[in-house]
Structure 1
Amino acid sequence: MPRFEFKEGSSNKFWEITRNEAVLTTRWGRIGTEGQEKTQTFKREYEARTAYDKQVLEKTTKGYTRVKPTETGPEPKSNKELEAAILRDPEAAEGYLVYGDWLQSQGDARGELIALQHAQSQAKGAEATALKKKVAALLKKHQGLLLGTQLASMHGGKTLSVDWHLGFIRGARVAVAGYDEDPEFQVDETLKLLLAHPSARFLQELTIGLADNEGENEYGAIIRIIAKSAPGTLRKLFIGDFVFPDDTEISWTHVGNVVPLYKAFPGLRSLHLRGGEPTFGKIDLPELREFIMETGGLDRGSVKAIAAANWPKLQKLEVWFGSENYGASGELKHIQPILDATGLPELKHLGLCNAEFTNELAAALPKSKVLPQLETLDLSRGTLTDEGAAVLLANAAAFKHLKRLDLSLNLLSTKVAKSVAKLCADVVIGRQRQDHSDEEDEHRYVAVGE
């Protein structure tokens, strides 16, 4: 429950407020007492939300300031030398186990958690189930030490979820509170708390969900926090884990400048971005294995930056180009380095999706240098018509080696869709969209724009 306090002269008061859908609860009184509580039930949720905002404004205008809850629980033990061994190889169990032995010798509950989780990873059947229950009980009993008061209060809802591995948080997801929840912390505040906590010192996977559920969804400041505060152990990063258009439109989301990530996480293996207006600069991620950019409109500069990126170990590349109406300005010629497999010796999975030039891709791919090395090819959500499909069929031999070809959400007729289904072992036709273009207006729309 968000808490506000007013301290001036003889006044020493607190005021708290929370909203659950259409129910508003407030509590107030002198600091140090339980105070009084009042509950109001409104007919509509938006009325409760309006009342919430109005009362908070009234209190802050009167001089009340919001305070954060303080942490409780024992200070965790730390051994920099043993931590350094884990930092050198965060995916190996040996470093954690040695650290766990030391922590147990210090009476630190995290040492027991490391031992239990390692045993759980080796067990099967009933033994694994029993160990899972022990791990859950230990996490609950020592959450003050292992997670902290503030993070524990958020955990389990939409705001924060974590994945434990050998005594530490291996993966985490941070997002704005749901529409029916009062945001005690904003996403940036939650993220700072998480990254500063000892349990996240070896964080390997981080997902950022919706950052704002009321206005433009911006990630620029979030990326700066990650680059500054996340540990160098980070291997997988997903910025923009939201459902469109249910949560927000993809074009209302701004990724921002991702350049600070390159230097901060040279060992990054997976980068997944969803939204528009990214700033890439010169991409240099030599350890990256997977890059996904989902957008409703990718500008020409970004397309060129992706095509010229340094990622010699990349195995999966997926790019959504989007609609010209929402800022897409890349063309087939701008991705020629990708088609030529320039600097992509390990690429096995290529997605050139949501493009207004899918027919041109169909013509260019059979003679490209990248196609023979691919295992999967994704041309979904684009503007492939029967005309483009005819080119694919005329060059069927070039696609026969593929394990999977995704042509879903294009503009194929039922008859032609059945024909291209034989191009390789697994052709995904899925649902095709209706082609609304005509002789006067030949412009065709991608599946994801706004």
Structure 2
Amino acid sequence: MTDHGHADQPVDLPTEPYEGPGAATAVADHGAVAWHLSCDRGGREIPFADVFRSFCEHVRTEEVREVRIGTWDEIGSTGSEEVVALLCGAAERFPALRALYLGDIPWEQSEISWIVQSDVTPLLTSFPRLRRLVVRGSGVGLRPVLHEELRLLRIETGGLPGATARAVGACDLPSLRELELWMGEEEYGADSDVEDLAGILSGERLPELRHLGLQNSEYQDAIAAAVATAPVVPRLRTLDLSMGALGDAGATALLAGQSLAHLDSLDLSHHFMSDEVVGRVRRRMRSLEVEVDLDEQLEEEHDCEEGTEGGPDCDCVGYRYAAVGE
């Protein structure tokens, strides 16, 4: 499966790797960069606790607006609990922190399923002025919480637990404008279903939501059908149902549902729709003046004998897949 790489930068700041006291000296304005902390420095493994301690000692943390966390100790087998605890324990030293990316690790360095996360709720309770939180990896935990300042929440995973999806819908996020969840595949820990998204789709606790991404799902048809009647949709400006196993049934339900004329854009890329349904979607969105992304039109995979896949001699049921799993 393909990996869609890094999320967009939460804040428009240039990334500055923290490589020791010299890095801090080289930057005049410690609030003008997004500091990237990693225990991997030029091939040398340094305990993350030591990296973080040095960072707090040599950077004017009271100015820091964005922190991006890369690798920590024994990535692939150790979760992010220690990283979360270190950040929360030093929260008073970061009064200006507005953006946090936990798991800023490209696929060349670690597959997304190898990045083991933990309960990220303490980050929200310890940083009440945080505006953007991006979490990348497997096993992301969350408990319902009130956070009045958060504007963006993105959870990138190849396998989102259903409990986490339900917790997002149960959070009170009165300022949230952008929400993206990558559902992933059952093989990599995804055990959610469309009912787990009910709190999100109701929009009851998301009054300011303008962008919704429910992506990378094996049950993308069911998501599209639920979105077709979801109360949250009329307040959206952009809708992203990309990266999943969307087929004709889901797209047809979306077309038959509530009006999407208010949207600026609709992303359905990485899909399994037929040419006929792709044409219907394109014509409808064009008539509504909604920009639509229908790239990556895929065909179902088959496990049958090579050369018979999908043909008259094919005796297996085709399957679809999400873009990001491993």
Q: Which residue of 2 aligns with 1:209?
A: 70
1:164 and 1:171 in contact (8 A); partners too = no
Which structure has the larger Rg over C-alpha atoms?
Answer: 1
Letter in 2 for 1:378: D
Q: Give the 3-state SS of the residue equivalent to 1:344 in structure 2.
A: coil
- In structure 2, do the counterparts of structure 1 residues 164 and 351 end up closer, same or farther at CA, with 3 Å as the change threshold? farther
Measured against aligned partners, the alpha-carbon deviations of 1:261-300 in whole angstroms (never above 9, x if no partner) come to: 1331111100000001122122332210000001011112
Q: Which residue of 1 aligns with 2:4?
A: none
- Measured in 2, the distance between the counterparts of 1:163 and 1:332 equals 47
Q: Which residue of 2 aligns with 1:408?
A: 269
- In structure 2, do the counterparts of structure 1 residues 318 and 295 end up closer, same or farther at CA, with 3 Å as the change threshold? same
Q: What's the CA shift for 1:386?
A: 1.9
Letter in 2 for 1:425: V
Q: Give the 3-state SS of the residue equivalent to 1:298 in structure 2.
A: coil
1:169 and 1:200 in contact (8 A); partners too = no
Q: What's the CA shift for 1:149?
A: 10
- In structure 2, do the counterparts of structure 1 residues 301 and 215 end up closer, same or farther at CA, with 3 Å as the change threshold? closer
1:220 and 1:254 in contact (8 A); partners too = no
Q: What's the CA shift for 1:316?
A: 0.4
Residue 291 of structure 1 pairs with residue 161 of structure 2:
no
- Measured in 1, the distance between the counterparts of 2:179 and 2:223 equals 16
Q: Which residue of 2 aligns with 1:273?
A: 135
- Measured in 1, the distance between the counterparts of 2:274 and 2:27 equals 45
- Measured in 2, the distance between the counterparts of 1:298 and 1:221 equals 21
Measured against aligned partners, the alpha-carbon deviations of 1:108-139 in whole angstroms (never above 9, x if no partner) come to: xxxxxxxxxxxxxxxxxxxxxxxxxxxxxxxx
Residue 445 of structure 1 pairs with residue 321 of structure 2:
yes
- In structure 2, do the counterparts of structure 1 residues 168 and 300 end up closer, same or farther at CA, with 3 Å as the change threshold? closer
Task: Report 1:82-101 matches (<5 A).
Answer: none
Match of 1:374 among 227, 233, 236: 236
1:318 and 1:351 in contact (8 A); partners too = yes
Q: What's the CA shift for 1:366?
A: 2.1
Q: Give the 3-state SS of the residue equivalent to 2:146 in structure 1.
A: coil
Residue 307 of structure 1 pairs with residue 190 of structure 2:
no
- In structure 2, do the counterparts of structure 1 residues 407 and 164 end up closer, same or farther at CA, with 3 Å as the change threshold? farther
- In structure 2, do the counterparts of structure 1 residues 215 and 328 end up closer, same or farther at CA, with 3 Å as the change threshold? closer
Q: What's the CA shift for 1:442?
A: 6.0
Q: Percent identity?
A: 32
- In structure 2, do the counterparts of structure 1 residues 149 and 252 end up closer, same or farther at CA, with 3 Å as the change threshold? closer
Q: What's the CA shift for 1:372?
A: 0.7
Q: TM-score, normalised by structure 1?
A: 0.60
2:228 and 2:256 in contact (8 A); partners too = no
Q: Which residue of 2 aligns with 1:81?
A: none
- In structure 2, do the counterparts of structure 1 residues 204 and 393 end up closer, same or farther at CA, with 3 Å as the change threshold? same
Q: Which residue of 2 aligns with 1:251?
A: 113
- In structure 2, do the counterparts of structure 1 residues 171 and 332 end up closer, same or farther at CA, with 3 Å as the change threshold? same
- In structure 2, do the counterparts of structure 1 residues 334 and 168 end up closer, same or farther at CA, with 3 Å as the change threshold? closer
- Measured in 1, the distance between the counterparts of 2:95 and 2:120 equals 16
Residue 229 of structure 1 pairs with residue 83 of structure 2:
no
2:76 and 2:116 in contact (8 A); partners too = no
- In structure 2, do the counterparts of structure 1 residues 198 and 320 end up closer, same or farther at CA, with 3 Å as the change threshold? closer
Q: What's the CA shift for 1:208?
A: 0.8
- Measured in 1, the distance between the counterparts of 2:27 and 2:239 equals 32
- Measured in 1, the distance between the counterparts of 2:316 and 2:19 equals 64
Letter in 1 for 2:291: D
1:192 and 1:229 in contact (8 A); partners too = no
Q: What's the CA shift for 1:440?
A: 5.2
Q: Which residue of 1 aligns with 2:295?
A: 430
Q: What's the CA shift for 1:217?
A: 5.9
1:213 and 1:248 in contact (8 A); partners too = no
- In structure 2, do the counterparts of structure 1 residues 297 and 150 end up closer, same or farther at CA, with 3 Å as the change threshold? closer
Match of 2:219 among 353, 357, 368: 357
Q: Which residue of 1 aligns with 2:55?
A: 194
Aligned residues: 292
1:170 and 1:202 in contact (8 A); partners too = no
Higher strand share: 1
Q: TM-score, normalised by structure 2?
A: 0.81
Q: Give the 3-state SS of the residue equivalent to 1:339 in structure 2.
A: helix
Residue 324 of structure 1 pairs with residue 186 of structure 2:
yes
Measured against aligned partners, the alpha-carbon deviations of 1:350-374 in whole angstroms (never above 9, x if no partner) come to: 0000112211122222221111110
Q: Which residue of 1 aligns with 2:9?
A: none
Higher helix share: 1
Letter in 2 for 1:315: R
Q: What's the CA shift for 1:197?
A: 3.1
Match of 2:38 among 175, 184, 195: 175
- Measured in 2, the distance between the counterparts of 1:228 and 1:364 equals 40
Structure with more contact order per residue of length (Cα contacts < 8 Å, sep ≥ 6): 2
- In structure 2, do the counterparts of structure 1 residues 432 and 270 end up closer, same or farther at CA, with 3 Å as the change threshold? same
Letter in 1 for 2:87: I
Q: Give the 3-state SS of the residue equivalent to 1:447 in structure 2.
A: coil
- Measured in 1, the distance between the counterparts of 2:67 and 2:26 equals 9
- Measured in 2, the distance between the counterparts of 1:432 and 1:387 equals 15
- Measured in 1, the distance between the counterparts of 2:25 and 2:74 equals 18
Gaps of 5+ in 2: 1-17, 303-309
Measured against aligned partners, the alpha-carbon deviations of 1:382-437 in whole angstroms (never above 9, x if no partner) come to: 11012222222334x61122101111112223443343234252111122332226
- Measured in 2, the distance between the counterparts of 1:399 and 1:311 equals 24
Q: Give the 3-state SS of the residue equivalent to 2:133 in structure 1.
A: strand
Instruction: State which drifts further: 265-274 or 420-429.
Output: 420-429
